Structures are given as structure tokens and as C-alpha cells.
Amino acid sequence: ELKVEQNPLFLSMQEGKNYTIYCNYSTTSDRLYWYRQDPGKSLESLFVLLSNGAVKQEGRLMASLDTKARLSTLHITAAVHDLSATYFCAVEYGNKLVFGAGTILRVKS
């Protein structure tokens, strides 16, 4: 059974700082997703990574995928308060997505 682990689970960072969220998974998969969730809201798709070495960037967020290491990273550059949310990675496995536990990000001014 596929296991997806995220770390850290909670991240408090200062505005303007950089940090990386890690997502490890236990079984081969070539497709990985990053979602953002605001409190009480649905899941907003951030990135879809479809192949080894894929790198995607949107604003202050950049995601990458290393399928050989079974590792994806979500890098935050010069954090701003608006990025405060919970971030989930999800790995495609058969007909479903298997989610990590989520990383609660709090950006302090």
C-alpha cells in the first residue's frame, strides 16, 4: 500500500524567508500533485508533476519531482502572509490520489 509522508507538518516562517516542504512516497508513481487548502475550503490545485525531473513554478512557489528518489519538493521563495494555508501533496496510485498529511504553513510578518 502506498504511503505518502510530508514534512514538516507545521511550518512557521517569517515573511521574506525561503523554505522547502518535502513529500516522500513509498511506491513507484510518475504523477504527483500539490494542493493548497484554506481553512474550511476545498482543495485548490497548484501543480501537476507528470514525469521525472519535472519542475513547475507559479509566483513564489516552485515544485519539483524526482521519481527515482520518490521525492517531491515545494519550495517557497520570499514568503508572504497570503501563502498561509495547508499544503498537501498527493500521489496518483491506480484510480485514486493518496494524500500526505499536509503541511500547515503560517507566515508571520
- 66 versus 92: smaller Cβ distance to another protein: 92
User: Which positions lie near another protein, rule CB under 8 A?
Assistant: 31, 33, 35, 41-43, 45, 48, 50, 88, 90, 92, 94-102
Closer to another protein by Cβ: residue 40 or 82? 40
Compare residues 4 and 107 and give the one whose CB is closer to another protein. Answer: 4
Closest approach, Cβ 55 to another protein, in A, equals 17
CA distances from 74 to 20, 54, 60, 97 (A): 6, 12, 10, 18
Nearest-approach distance from CB 102 to another protein, in angstroms: 6
State which residue, 46 or 76, has the beta carbon closest to another protein.
46
Please report how close the Cβ of residue 57 comes to another protein at its closest, in angstroms. Answer: 17
